[in-house]
Amino acid sequence: MATPLTHSEIKQQVIKLAGGRKALAEALEITPQAISQWDKIPLARVRDVMNATEQRMTPQEIRPDIFGDLPTQAA
């Protein structure tokens, strides 16, 4: 079983998928500094983050503490 990602690792993955901190900030219409201040991706930003990553991340991946873990497939 894989170890769950930390919120910091999730944020870094979002930034990478969005094309960098500046691209993510532009997509969200905020400053890159605002993103730097996030401990966790704000709940109000989950949908915007999904759009910025072209739906390559789900709400469960972005905020597993709120939306729960991804379902696992039975073997």
Mean pLDDT lowest for which of 3-7, 29-33, 46-50? 3-7
What domain range includes position 52?
Answer: 7-66
Q: Is residue 75 in a domain?
A: no
Q: Is residue 59 in a domain?
A: yes
Query: What CATH number does the domain containing 46 carry?
Result: 1.10.260.40
> What's the pLDDT score for residue 72?
61
Task: In whole angstroms, give the CA distance from residue 28 to residue 17.
Answer: 14
Those residues whose C-beta lies under 8 Å from the C-beta of residue 34, and which sit 6 or more positions away, are: 25
Q: Domains in the chain: how many in total?
A: 1
The percentage of the chain sitting over the pLDDT mark of 70, rounded to a whole number, equals: 88
Q: Is residue 36 in a domain?
A: yes
Q: What's the mean pLDDT in 41-69?
A: 94
Q: Is residue 62 in a domain?
A: yes
Q: In terms of pLDDT, which residue wins out, 27 or 1? A: 27
pLDDT at 75 over 80: no
Task: In whole angstroms, give the CA distance from residue 42 to residue 63.
Answer: 9
Q: Is residue 74 in a domain?
A: no
* DSSP-assigned states of every residue in the chain: -PPPPPHHHHHHHHHHHHTSHHHHHHHHTS-HHHHHT-SS--GGGHHHHHHHTTT-S-HHHH-HHHH-PPPPPP-
